Structure formats: C-alpha cells, structure tokens
Amino acid sequence: MLLVDQSAELLSDETIKLTGPLTSKKYPDSLRLIVYEGFSTNTVCRFLSNNFRLEALTIAELYRERWQIELFFKWIKQHLHIKTFYGTTKNAVFTQIWIAICDYLLLIIAKKHYMLNRSLHSILNSIGQVLFKRGDIRYVFNQTDLTDNVSESDGPRQLTLW
C-alpha cells in the first residue's frame, strides 16, 4: 500500500479534454488533471493521468515517487558514468546497476574511513587516475596517517556510513 505524503494538499482534481486540433484527434478521450502542492518542498505540481480509479493524492504520490527514481538514475548516469546499458536483458541491466551501486557505496566507505573532505565525484575521478598503482589512498588526497590517533585499547575500528 502506498503511503501518501501527509504534508501535501490536493488543490484540484478535474476531468479535461484536449482541445487542440491535432491533440484532440490523437487522444479524444478524457484525462484527469491533478494539481498537488507539496508543502515540504514548497512546489505545485500538475499531473495528467487517464486513471480515474485511484484517488487523486495516490496518483500524485506515485508521480512524486517516480520522480525520485528518475533523479536516482540521473545521479547514477552523471556520477557513476553509466551512459548506456551494455546488455538488454533484465539480468544484464540489474547487474550493471548493482555494480554501480556497489561502486557508490565503496566510495562512501572510503570517504568516511579516510576522512576525505572532497565530493564523491572528485574522489571518483581521482581514484580512477590511480586505480592500478600501488600505494595508500591517503597519499592521493594528501591526508595524514589515521592510525596515529588510534590506540590499541580502542579495539577494532567499526565503520558507520552515516
């Protein structure tokens, strides 16, 4: 069951028809225009749908969730350099996405562990230049040795992502 954003307000839910000479011929059926305001983001969104069965806020929330997924894939394309998928099967696409997600998580872990102050994009670009060279990642970013500040009584170091 989809949870609707409680900080949202439905401004209108109307049935409309396209009236342009070309558009009314291409789609003569009625459409649903839903106007939704998200108070948390202070934005007003307009959604067109041909679904008249679901509640208006549910449709608005589905579009909002879809937009978050689109933003996630945009980030992957821009930062993890996936411009196209190498395979067309479901397994090939999932494999490429999982590899990109693992790459992202490894970057977060490295950033946290080595206390790097750079952006993930900057770290990714720097690591790519020295990927097959021997050496410590701290030297790539001119960081001090982190083991100097850890005593034996502290026990094993446990990483946290957040």
Asked whether residue 28 is domain-assigned, the answer is yes
Residues 54, 4 contacting (CB under 8 angstroms): no
**Helix residue ranges, H only, 27-162:** 56-79, 90-113, 120-129, 137-140
Distance of alpha carbon 80 from alpha carbon 73, whole angstroms = 10
Q: Are residues 16 and 50 in the same domain?
A: yes
Distance of alpha carbon 40 from alpha carbon 157, whole angstroms = 38
Residue 150 confidence class, pLDDT cut points 50, 70, 90: very low
Asked whether residue 77 is domain-assigned, the answer is no
Work out the average pLDDT over 120-138. Answer: 71
Asked whether residue 155 is domain-assigned, the answer is no
Asked whether residue 56 is domain-assigned, the answer is yes
Domain that holds residue 44: 8-69
Residue 89 confidence class, pLDDT cut points 50, 70, 90: very high
Q: Are residues 96 and 58 in the same domain?
A: no
Q: Which two tokens stand for residue 11?
A: 């401004």
Q: Give the count of domains, the chain.
A: 2
Asked whether residue 78 is domain-assigned, the answer is no
Distance of alpha carbon 107 from alpha carbon 141, whole angstroms = 14
Q: Which two tokens stand for residue 95?
A: 């494999």
pTM of the entire predicted model: 0.49
Distance of alpha carbon 78 from alpha carbon 124, whole angstroms = 12
